[in-house]
Amino acid sequence: MRPDTPADHTTEAERLLRTASTYPEDREPLLLRAAAHLELAGDRARATELYDTLLGGDPGNPSLIRALKAANLWEYGHEAEARAIIDGVRRSAPGDAAPWEIVAETLEAHDELEQSESTFTEAARLLAAEGSDDLPYATQSLLISRHRVRRMLALPHDAWDTRADGLHTGAVALDELHDPKRLWSLGSDDPAELQAEITRLRSELGSYRTALSRPFPVAVLHWPERELDELLASYPELEAEYPTYRAHLTDLEASLRELSAAGTPNLGIVPATVPSYEAFAASETSTPANPALLPQYATTLAARGRATPWPPARGAACWCGSTNTYATCHGAE
């Protein structure tokens, strides 16, 4: 059951903090999730302490942490500090879409629509250059959010808005979904208008649910060749699962394609190592030779933030670790 009350969120934050002490290699994503739960519990000062703890070390994504810290600070009265951090994030021009979207949506939430739009546009110019194909999910989300803010400002469509229209797959078109006049429908006495608004809200909720579920994908294990050799040398009982390394890679891609064809969202790949798997088996008081542990191990790694979304962009490096692009490697038909 997902946390629902402030006490539930505090309990989940404490659990994540304990997990972070057990798995220091996953400390950053676990502390970020703990901070998010503390924010939902209303303990924003403690969430800020976690962000500062991460920034005081050697974080993997400092721009993301600063953006989250700014959003949190503004919510409990530290507007000036939040603005200064947002300006710093924008000047640093991160190559990741997430920090851009967080600071732009923070500005939007506080009615700074012009600044929000200019932030989104800076990010689009940097991350979604004209002619680039197969945009990552985070960049697609950024363009769709930019579309919303520009709609609220009554700005005419530009090339990025048109691209956002094409990326959106919901039943309700983006122009209608982001129509500022929708606010008036919520107070209407006309049943037809209210029903139309319910349909729009359901579509929007579906998009949010998809976004929220992405940190917890359905994940499959990828054993690098050396790790797989070590695994099978130590536990030959698993040869039925992994007859050869080549078969392992082929089966992995085929399994993901089958899941995708069946409509399973948010698929991911998690890298497996023998020491990590042995530690997991020990924590389950089982033997690593037990094949039933493999999907549980994959799920646990995904919950710890170790999954990489699948499929990669066709022009990106293939997930298998080869020097080829996905389109010319496992993404080939």
Q: Are 188 and 194 in contact (CB under 8 A)?
A: yes
Residue 123 lies in a domain: no
Q: Are 307 and 269 in contact (CB under 8 A)?
A: yes
Tell me the one-letter amino acid at 296: Q
In which element (H, E) is residue 268 found? Answer: strand 267-271
pLDDT at 211: 45
pLDDT at 210: 46
Q: What's the rounded mean pLDDT across residues 42-50?
A: 95
Angle between helices 97-109 and 62-75 (to 10 degrees): 10
pLDDT at 248: 95
For the chain, the domain total comes to 1
Residue 287 lies in a domain: yes
pLDDT at 158 over 60: yes
pLDDT at 130: 65
Q: Can you spell out the DSSP letters for 218-248? A: EEEEE--HHHHHHHHHH-GGGGGT-S-HHHH
Residue 144 lies in a domain: no
Residue 69 lies in a domain: no
Three-class DSSP category at 144: helix
Per-residue pLDDT band for 220 (boundaries 50, 70, 90) equals very high
Residue 306 lies in a domain: yes
Q: Are 314 and 133 in contact (CB under 8 A)?
A: yes
Q: How far is CA 332 from the centre of its chain?
A: 25
Q: Are 227 and 276 in contact (CB under 8 A)?
A: no
Three-class DSSP category at 251: helix
Give φ, ψ of 324 to 5 degrees: -90, 160
Per residue in 257-285, pLDDT (tens digit) is 998 888 777 789 999 999 888 888 887 88
Per-residue pLDDT band for 132 (boundaries 50, 70, 90) equals low
Neighbours of 185 (CB within 10 A): 18
Per residue in 179-206, pLDDT (tens digit) is 776 645 555 666 776 676 666 666 655 5
The rounded distance, in Å, linking the Cα atoms of 46 and 94 is 26
Q: Which DSSP symbol is given to 57?
A: S
The rounded distance, in Å, linking the Cα atoms of 229 and 239 is 10
Domain with 259 in it: 218-328
Three-class DSSP category at 59: coil
Residue 158 lies in a domain: no
Residue 151 lies in a domain: no
pLDDT at 316 over 80: yes
Neighbours of 118 (CB within 10 A): 15
Residue 120 lies in a domain: no
Neighbours of 177 (CB within 10 A): 20
Q: With b meaning 16 or more CB within 10 Å and e meaning fewer, what string describes 37-64?
A: bbbbbebbeebbebbeebeeeebebbbb
Please indicate, yes or no, whether the overall pTM of this predicted structure exceeds 0.85.
no
Q: How far is CA 137 from the centre of its chain?
A: 8
In which element (H, E) is residue 282 found? Answer: helix 274-283
